[in-house]
Amino acid sequence: MAEPLRLLMLCMGNICRSPMAEGALRARLLQAGMADEVQVDSAGTGGWHAGDPPDPRAIATAAAHGVDIAMLRARQLHVADFDRFDWILCADRDNLLQAQARRPVTSHGRPALLLEWVGRRVRREVPDPYAGGPRDFARAWALVDDAAVRIVARVRAGQV
């Protein structure tokens, strides 16, 4: 069996978008019988929420779709992540720029915009729902879940 693809979902604080993206992808991989083919984790560019669970609104949004992310804990992006993961998939351009700035020249992990990496042509960023309400979290979930569906399709097609 080939080594699994290793993906790190990245947002600012690792309490909203990236844990929802991690949960959505884990659920879609499990549903597709592909859980062993991709390793998934999430992190934030900032460390101020390290050790905290996801935002209660993110937990509720994921739960409304049958996905439990309550056990996840926030952590900050580390330099070692660029060698542990094949791709660091960023929620937005600010996080992409921060990841690119931290990436060691010799590492193999490559930062990219999550939605762009999965082939979305219209909306290329997942907006941060933190300052918003339920609709903002629902919109973010729809985008990360769509990305998860596209990642499963990419892996199945061998396009990684």
Q: Is 146 a catalytic residue?
A: no
The residues, any chain, with a CB within 8 Å of residue 131's CB and separated by 6 or more, are none
* Annotated catalytic residue, options 16, 17, 57, 81: 17
Catalytic annotation present for 11: yes
DSSP tag of 128 = -
Active site residue 92: no
The catalytic residue among 11, 26, 28, 55 is: 11
What type of residue sits at position 1? M
List 41, 55, 92, 128, catalytic entry: 128
Cβ–Cβ < 8 Å for 15, 44:
yes
Task: For Cα atoms 55, 9, 31, give the angle at the middle one, nearest 5 degrees.
Answer: 90
Angle between the N-to-C axes of helices 56-63 and 134-156, in degrees from 0 to 180, rounded to the nearest 10: 60
The residues that are catalytic are 11, 17, 128
